[in-house]
């Protein structure tokens, strides 16, 4: 669960510049080529790269956001001034600066949501992120891009299969909250690519898909409810079970975070055909409870004073109460009032404040996982990171055990020292995710593979 669609993580979108130097012979602009710099966001500096490709044209790379080669707009330059803007980005991001011939640098201010951050560029490409676990080709298995229907939309994804003709046992991966691609890419990490690679090498076919409105998948996530999303997952199960290279009796689900809500919801259907379920940081309590507790834990771990923590918890509680009953208009009004009560320098743009309040968020906040979990009679593995502040085990572990108590083969496990992504961490804060090179602890991957092979043999 991503703190109300990752409220705790501010994803800044950036843009850049073109400049020139004074000369009667009108030489090429000195900014042509590759540059890199860091937006000096307190506590969360954001590396960016820009390539100037010609007069008033440039592209930008933001590795932590998975952005590569994005075209900048309104790029302007003179011999000593540079400016830019980013299209369709929240907070109207802009850059104003200048090129210094003596230092061969571009320096200035990046402005977004009325806040100003220093940004200086040097020549060269932005350094790539170090993500040592990300699989690299060639792979010892087959990979196939697939599409199938879920109601009136098309779902797109990637199916990886071991070598051979099968039929193989299979796993459908279900992403966490928010609009996710098939790799569940976040801050340079690709957790689902690693899970798919690990399980396919172990002998399982794995299907991972883009969420509604992402990549090749149609529809709009903001307008979807849990019936829509569980139907999407059920369609994936049906697609797998209908393939001759997949064993229809051995198709299971792997859900991360909100996917840990949806996997049991699908598996508990009498006709689901789901053979097993693996829940990574799947909450054991209702969404409203998770939002309130993660608000408290993240604020406290970030060093907020007790009165500030209490105020944030109160605001989350009030907002969750309206969302639980589907009062979106009331929730938007409340969010506006809460934003207006902040000091001017801490307020967000009003459009951004209400943009995330939609039927999808209301469905997440109102969902209670207990009925679906209690109905399961298949092998279930539910595991948590001991330092997870988004789905804290102190809140969800025991309810998960209680809800699965009637299941004859249910395992609940907590990995000490891991966060919501199953990374080794000291604080568990979402702000650490990008700086941790490990995507998923190898201990987790080994544990999951071992649990699965004991119950569903690859061959």
Evaluate if residue 7 carries a pLDDT over 50: no
Residue entry with tokens 């995330």: 356
Distance between the two ends of the chain, CA-based, in angstroms? 34
Helices assigned H by DSSP within 70-168 = none
**Cα 297 to Cα 309: distance, rounded to the nearest angstrom:** 9
What global pTM score does this model have? Answer: 0.88
Q: Which two tokens stand for residue 165?
A: 């003709």
Residue 324 CB burial class (10 angstroms; 0-12, 13-18, ≥19): middle
| Predicted pLDDT of residue 28 | 59
Q: Return the minimum-mean-pLDDT range out of 22-31, 114-123, 251-260, 283-292.
A: 22-31
Top-ranked range on mean pLDDT: pick from 73-82, 85-94, 266-275: 266-275
3-state secondary structure 268-294: CCCCCCEEEEEEECCCCCCHHHHHHHH
Q: What is the mean pLDDT of residues 275-294?
A: 98
* Phi, psi for residue 186 in degrees, rounded to 5: -150, 120
Note the pLDDT of residue 15.
31
pLDDT, tens digit (0-9, with 9 covering 90-100), for 392-432: 999 999 999 999 999 999 999 999 999 999 999 999 999 89
pLDDT of residue 1: 56
Element (H, E) at 360: helix 359-366
pLDDT level of residue 25 (50, 70, 90 thresholds): very low
Give the C-alpha separation, 106 to 112, whole Å. Answer: 19
Which helix (H) or strand (E) covers residue 38, if one does? strand 33-39
**CA 225, CA 240: separation in Å to the nearest integer?**
23
On whether the CB atoms of residues 90 and 353 are closer than 8 A, the answer is: no
- Give the highest mean pLDDT range of 64-73, 99-108, 280-289: 280-289
- Crossing angle for the helix pair 287-301 and 393-403, to the nearest 10 degrees: 150
Rounded CA gap, 46 and 29, in Å? 26
In order of their start, the domains of the chain are 3-123 (2.40.128), 141-286+367-455 (3.40.50.1820), 287-363 (no CATH)
Tokens standing for residue 72: 């900048």
Q: What is the mean pLDDT of residues 375-403?
A: 98
Q: What's the average model confidence in pLDDT over 313-324?
A: 98
Residue 46 host element (H or E): strand 46-54
Residue labelled with tokens 């039929």: 167
**249 has a pLDDT exceeding 90:** yes
> Per-residue pLDDT tens for 104-161?
999 999 998 878 999 999 999 999 899 999 999 999 999 999 999 999 999 999 999 9
Range from 79-83, 233-237, 360-364 carrying the lowest mean pLDDT: 79-83
Least confident of 8-17, 173-182, 247-256, 325-334: 8-17
What is the average pLDDT across 181-202? 97
Higher-pLDDT residue of 3 and 175 is 175
Percent of the chain with pLDDT over 70: 93
pLDDT surpassing 80 at residue 264: yes
Q: Is 394 helix (H, G, I), strand (E, B) or coil?
A: helix
> If pLDDT is split at 50, 70 and 90, which confidence band does 238 have?
very high
Helix (H) or strand (E) holding 97: strand 94-100
């Amino acid at each position: 669960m991503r703190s109300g669609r990752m409220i705790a993580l501010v994803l800044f979108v950036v843009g850049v510049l073109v400049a020139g130097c004074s000369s009667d012979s009108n030489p090429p602009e000195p900014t042509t080529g590759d540059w890199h710099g860091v937006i000096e966001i307190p506590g969360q500096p954001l590396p960016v790269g820009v390539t100037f490709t010609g007069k008033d044209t440039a592209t930008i790379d933001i590795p932590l956001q998975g952005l590569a080669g994005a075209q900048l707009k309104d790029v302007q330059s003179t011999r000593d001034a540079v400016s830019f803007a980013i299209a369709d980005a929240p907070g109207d991001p802009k850059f104003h600066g200048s090129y210094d011939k003596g230092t061969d640098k571009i320096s200035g201010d990046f402005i977004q949501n009325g806040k100003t951050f220093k940004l200086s560029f040097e020549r060269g490409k932005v350094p790539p992120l170090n993500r040592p676990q990300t699989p690299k080709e060639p792979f010892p298995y087959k990979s196939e891009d697939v599409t199938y229907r879920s109601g009136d939309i098309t779902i797109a994804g990637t199916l990886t299969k071991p070598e051979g003709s099968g039929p193989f046992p299979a796993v459908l991966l279900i992403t966490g909250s928010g609009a996710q691609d098939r790799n569940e890419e976040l801050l340079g990490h690709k957790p689902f690519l690693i899970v798919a690679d690990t399980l396919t090498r172990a002998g399982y076919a794995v299907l991972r898909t883009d969420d509604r409105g992402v990549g090749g998948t149609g529809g709009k996530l903001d307008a979807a409810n849990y019936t829509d999303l569980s139907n999407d997952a059920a369609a994936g199960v049906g697609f797998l079970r209908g393939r001759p290279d997949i064993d229809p009796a051995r198709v299971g689900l792997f859900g991360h975070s909100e996917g840990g809500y949806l996997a049991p919801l699908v598996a508990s259907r009498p006709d689901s055909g789901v053979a097993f379920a693996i829940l990574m940081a799947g909450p054991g309590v209702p969404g409203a409870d998770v939002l309130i507790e993660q608000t408290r834990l993240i604020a406290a771990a970030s060093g907020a004073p007790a009165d500030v923590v209490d105020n944030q918890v109160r605001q989350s509680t009030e907002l969750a109460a309206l969302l639980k009953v589907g009062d979106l208009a009331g929730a938007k009004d409340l969010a506006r009032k809460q934003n207006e009560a902040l000091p001017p320098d801490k307020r967000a743009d009003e459009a951004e404040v209400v943009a995330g309040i939609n039927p999808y968020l209301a469905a997440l906040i109102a969902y209670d996982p207990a009925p679906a979990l209690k109905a399961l009679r298949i092998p279930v593995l539910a595991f948590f990171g001991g330092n997870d502040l988004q789905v804290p085990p102190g809140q969800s572990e025991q309810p998960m055990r209680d809800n699965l108590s009637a299941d004859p083969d249910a395992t609940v496990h907590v990995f000490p020292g891991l966060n919501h992504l199953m990374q080794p961490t000291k604080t568990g804060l979402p702000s650490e995710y990008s700086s941790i090179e490990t995507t998923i602890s190898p201990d987790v991957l080994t544990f999951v593979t071992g649990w699965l092979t004991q119950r569903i043999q690859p061959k």
